[in-house]
A = this chain, B = another copy of it.
């Protein structure tokens, strides 16, 4: 059994133990479902009229640890539907689960563990198995703890009654639990919603609505710097900007197939006439219409369109979260139209751009990223549009490239888009959390659906292949990840303000500082001049809070020597240097 499997069994066991501890205290509480999850486990319990609070968790946890020593072995027995229904006659949730199991034609099993050896044999739960063999021996009582409670709808359906979910954290060792808790504390400090507000990068307005961020000048500058960086990196690869409206008749998505797949997530738009429009949830169908506006020869290909533009998706209000989950999503989108011969080179170019971009963020470190190669789920072929032979070829091409580029890749079945397989870059942030950012997706379907064409060397009409690509992914999510990864201390090139100039006092040094600011600005450095209306100490604290990469104090010495002694945002002192040297260091 793998370590991962073992840990999952342990977490599942702890869900049972939690239920046992709860039932000891609240014998009439109705147990429902208690699975293992990432980082731990939970159990959903209907406490009826009883109100459970965070402080009750301590008590449950104490009991769990006490009971653990008697949990030596799980036993199980298969029961008939009738017997199961009798045992759970008082519990409508378990009765529903029993019916479901019965309908699927599966056998019904009860798992039991722990003392005291009651007639039912310790604590018994309806379960399909998957536990630690000897919990008392295998589980360190200090390697788990109950973390928090939340409301949850029975089976996640908001039409059902809300019951109580108790969450627990569980790891292999007490040290790992401690590390994870420390990470959570750090993550809370770095929360992009908190830091983003402190750094003045974006805001939300009750009048505008949730999930619709408004970007301040500093936040917009970060977005523009990301777009500019990507454009600079890929300028030798011939991408051209295009521009499309944010709405369309639904006809476009009926042709593309998105209407059928995503109809529910689309925002519908209506004016005073009968005409109904849809807000675009992606840009590819619009971009096909630019391609289709003119006839193309194979000599024109590849054509590479790019555009950083907002798409709109009707996310549930409850799922919105800062910039991580929004309704207005800015995609740094790109679409390549090419011949089959050109696919390999184009994908390689895209990978090269993604690599260079994340290198500029120092995020492309060995072991800190991997690449998922998303292919079909062989068990649900009906989820994918188009000819399986094309799919086979596309998946093989991507794997060939992944090997040639020596990418640390994994094939992930079932993660392909409905129109084609894809390559996604997965990055670990400084807290070890994984984020999917850059992507290249092959598409054999959409060009066919829109009847796109080019004339080949023999004068025959052919269908081009389309590649969807994103480097930063959504700029909103990218910004959320970047804020938390860097804890607001962005790389110099991405910092809205790169240098803070602090004259010791305005009379003696203000004019010199103003001139220096102009020199730096003219050279393209983003400078903020903080006049001496506040004390130097207070200004240094302000600069530190804003995570400005460099501060330069300007006093008599600096004017006399015509040099500066910059300090970094972690108080590191740089060598004395000329303004020109400093500018070169930053612009470099």
Contact = CB atoms under 8 A, between A and B. Distances in A.
Interface residues of A, number: 61
Interface in A487-527: none
A292 interface: yes
Contacts of A216: 242, 290, 293-294
Contacts of A215: 242-244, 290
B312 A214 contact: no
Given A277-B209, A279-B247, A242 B217 contact: yes
Contacts of A271: 265-268, 314
Interface in A211-253: 212-217, 219-221, 223-224, 240-249, 251-252
A92 interface: no
A116 interface: no
A320 to B, nearest CB: 12
Contacts of A330: 243
A205 B288 CA distance: 10
Contact of A289 (B214, B240, B277): B214
A269 interface: yes
Contacts of A268: 269-271
Nearest to A223: B243
A582 interface: no
A327 interface: yes
Nearest to A287: B214
Q: Could you tell me the dominant secondary structure of chain A's interface residues?
A: mixed
Contacts of A388: none
A275 B317 CA distance: 10
A275 B209 contact: yes
A286 interface: yes
A241 B217 CA distance: 5
A151 interface: no
Nearest to A273: B317
A312 B208 contact: no
Given A208-B289, A293-B203, A243 B220 contact: yes
A117 interface: no
A214 B286 contact: yes
